Amino acid sequence: MKINRQRLADTFLNLVRIDSPSREEGAVAEWIKKNFQALKGVSATFDNSAENTGSQCGNLIIHIDGDVDAPPLFFNAHMDTVEPGRGITPLFDGNVFRTDGSTILGSDDKAAIAILFEVVRCLREQQIAHCPLDLVFTVCEEIGLLGAKALDTSLVRAEAGIALDSTDINSLINRAPEAVRLNIEVVGKAAHAGINPEEGINAIQVAASALAALHLGRIDHETTANIGTIQGGKASNIVPEKVSVQGEVRSHDPEKLRMVQDGITGEFVRAADRYRKKFSSGDNALNGNLEPPFVQTEIVNDYPKMSVPEEHILVRTALRAAEKAGRNIALQTTGGGSDANILNSKGLTTLILGIGMQNVHTTGEFILLDDMVKTAELTGMIIREWSGQA
């Protein structure tokens, strides 16, 4: 497949100029729908996921007719971007896309959308025989994979596919961890910090005691834990009554995940118990009230693990296509989560292919057109190789 380099660049530049922060994907979705439907043998449908995500539109599913009697294949990309992502001014020097430094670029994941559009146009123009294709463009990926979670899978004909949403163009990800989010609230007792501090229980101090005892970061080769935010207190002259702490745990081993999760929440409970004993005896007794401090925890299942076996036909097809394209692609395990985690949990076998985006979610984000072209060429080869499996 011969990729039109300049046309791919122009498509990407058009896409990143369309604002599409999470829940505001309507304009870019209409661009995608309009331009795909202008091609022969293409139809587009929105699902009803907006009712659950709060987005301006649903997930967009594109059906592309095939002319080969082979199983359908799908590709996935997400339409939303993170902030600051409004009024993007892309800069392009012939190979490198970046911004003026005031916003993100949006290559995550509009480079993938541009690549898929170019591949489909090339299939049509070059009259390359292929299987039926489904393109699944999701909303709200950046705020908890909400679009994928609400996806109407009955609109997707294919049972296997590839998500274009990672950095390294030489990696094919077949394993990703499970993740949970932790919302922990420590409740103490408010008091005037100067007049009667003895009558207060400092929730921030209780939380700090728990935090100091935690093992965070990389727990082992397949498990990580993090505390990301802490909020509490009202003023410097008030003993803080409440503090909220948010964190996460990820692991490829569900048993380890539960163990680390319980260890974190348990540390907060133990810290509260220590302070409760302190304030319920001697001169610091709180009139017999033994309730504060106490801890309230909420554990949210963020996304399930994904694990596609090396012997799966999709893996073997993708690696064979890479070899034929002269590419050295390696199977990889990632510590991140994506739509692929959710799609796999819904029975849609999904791998993740890197597209070359760098420094994503920062104003220093960039991507090389060379890498986008290579990904487009490999995507076309995967389609051709899959289509050969009648």
Catalytic positions: 80, 141
- Sequence-ordered list of residues with C-beta below 8 angstroms from that of 203, at least 6 positions apart, any chain: 186, 187, 188, 232, 233, 240, 241, 242, 243, 293
Residue 158, burial from CB neighbour count under 10 angstroms (0-12, 13-18, 19+): buried
Cα–Cα distance measured from residue 170 to residue 331, given in angstroms and rounded to the nearest whole number? 9
Q: Which of 344, 348, 280 is nearest to 307 (CA)?
A: 344
Tokens representing 178? Answer: 């499970």
Q: Within 10 Å of residue 359's Cβ, how many Cβ atoms?
A: 16
Pair 348, 153: CB distance under 8 Å: yes
- Sequence-ordered list of residues with C-beta below 8 angstroms from that of 33, at least 6 positions apart, any chain: 44, 60, 62
Helices H, strands E: what count in the chain?
A: 10, 19
Phi, psi of 104 (to 5 degrees): -70, 170
Cα–Cα distance measured from residue 204 to residue 175, given in angstroms and rounded to the nearest whole number? 38
Q: Within 10 Å of residue 109's Cβ, how many Cβ atoms?
A: 29
Residue type, 259: M
Angle at 191 between CA 187 and CA 195, to 5 degrees: 160
Residues pairing with 279 in the sheet: none
